[in-house]
Structure 1
């Protein structure tokens, strides 16, 4: 959703990584997506029964009784979460959630929403958690608007489960001379709204202006596929997204003929499962489940399956982002 976040940054930390083999079938859909904030996914992650789950007693009683954790997610961000050729929710997050469900004895039911509504959905109790390639940052933890610096909500807690950096990619064969973010001055970037990539683009636009260089024009969209469609139509020069998403698009879109990555990853940060501040019992149960699947090897199998082992963690933290 890149590393998705609303935090402001002052310096990029380069993180080098090779593009892993992404064992995913099907091509990335490059059509614009409408508002799906009320769409419920037809499938849920299957799990073992509560009685067979070693961590079931850590869950809040209300969730144990329901047997379901409702997950808000922008299901248009392959390979983290997307709809497969059968219309089912697939990807890194659903697989990790399914493995966690075996530990907790519940089903994780993914419900589709636009990314910028997920935190509000937690506040209104539409969802129990948000799991959508969302970067764990101090601003999100504290409910701070990254643009204004003002407090706009209660904030959320995060259970960290993965690490990803941010990548730039262009139409194949047309890199536009872009190797670093400083090469973006005078270009047009298409980006998903309210993501970390969007934030970095705003920072770079300000830097271009400060340095007296040509302006970086930013066009923001509700979903990453919309941003890619804009670039494919030559309306933008470059797209920015989390490295796993950029790598997936480069490998799969147009049979691997549409896009190419330019430059190196920057700003590696943790993905976190977002939980309301007042739901500490659920938060702690989720952390225990993430750590359990790391320890028992299920987590390793999942990240290797999707070709993203470079972003694997060995310890799940609460609010480990900065």
Structure 2
């Protein structure tokens, strides 16, 4: 996700794979979920023979668990399947990394704009939720006000994605670019880069033709509003928008319009004082890139064009 101080996108890179590839996951329908519910969404399995276990802080090795703050309503990155299990790109990556580190990654659901606060209060050990690595987040800056609101976080970058606009199918109203939204209404998830982009674009619109922005706690609520005719367009990260276009109403509800913009890295957020944990996560991510598990996960979810070759710390701009 993308956001004011917490976005899911920013510096140019590659495009994601074609929509048809995302259909691999198309049989899984998006379902809602309550805030702050726990879910052991990974099946990594604790093992004393894990090759990178000694890189973790002893406190986490002793617990055998890494608590993950995540907004589990963002298919195909993380969401609940019909059986209520947490699935998606992030849980699969976490499970593979867990095998390297000898711990379970325990996903705990929370609204996206509270995840860094939860990390700061030690509710979570990490936040992994399609969160875009940005300088503002690294430095604890509120991008709306430019004021410092916290100590910031470090990121271990693991994927690249851009932001897309989508409309009701067959009713794009001439919307192809962000400037075409002037005088129209857009729905999106609160605290994301989509909201940042909409606010920035609205300032450029002619007087009396500002963009009406309606934010929601999660992307599914925004989709529901657009589906019901309550807005002209919606916006979210490309893999999420593409998945919604492919699956909602059997592919009959929405269509993508224009090009994705603001391509930037997704990062696993870690508290600034947890450098050992940060470095262990980087080592685990590099290990699954090297052994081919990372590529298998990218192919499974049809997002190989967003794949990276090497983990990076704080690569966001």
3-state secondary structure, aligned to 2:95: helix
Query: In 2 relative to 1, CA 237–12 (structure 1 residues): closer, same or farther, beyond 3 Å?
Result: farther
Matches within 5 A, 1:1-322: 1=1, 3-4=2-3, 6=5, 18-22=18-22, 23-24=24-25, 25-29=27-31, 36=35, 38-41=36-39, 43-209=40-206, 212=207, 214-322=209-317
Q: Cα–Cα, structure 1 residues 83 and 16, in superposed 2: closer, same or farther, change >3 Å?
A: closer
Query: Residues 314 and 16 (structure 1 numbering): CA distance in 2 closer, same or farther, change over 3 Å?
Result: closer
Secondary structure of 2:230 counterpart: coil
Asked if 2 retains the 8 angstrom alpha-carbon contact of 1:7 and 1:138, the reply is: no
TM-score by length of 1: 0.93
- SS of match in other structure, 1:241: strand
SS in 2 for 1:154: coil
CA RMSD, aligned part only?
Answer: 1.8
CA drift of 1:15 comes to 6.2
Corresponding residue SS for 1:79: coil
Do the aligned residues in 1 keep the contact of 2:11 with 2:264 (CA within 8 Å)? no
- 1:179 aligns to what SS in structure 2? coil
Number of aligned positions between the proteins: 312
State the TM-score, normalizing by the size of structure 2. Answer: 0.94
Gaps of at least 5 residues in structure 1 are none
Q: Give the Cα–Cα distance (whole angstroms) in 2 for the partners of residues 312 and 76 of structure 1.
A: 21
Q: 1:15 to 1:170 in 2, by over 3 A?
A: farther
**Distance between the aligned counterparts of 1:5 and 1:293, measured in 2?**
31
Structure 2 gap segments, 5+ residues each: none
CA contact (8 A) 2:216 2:222 kept: yes
- 1:311 to 1:90, Cα distance in 2 relative to 1, 3 A: same
**Offset of residue 28 of structure 1:** 2.7
Distance 1:138 1:89, change over 3 A: same
How far apart are the structure 2 equivalents of 1:81 and 1:7? 17
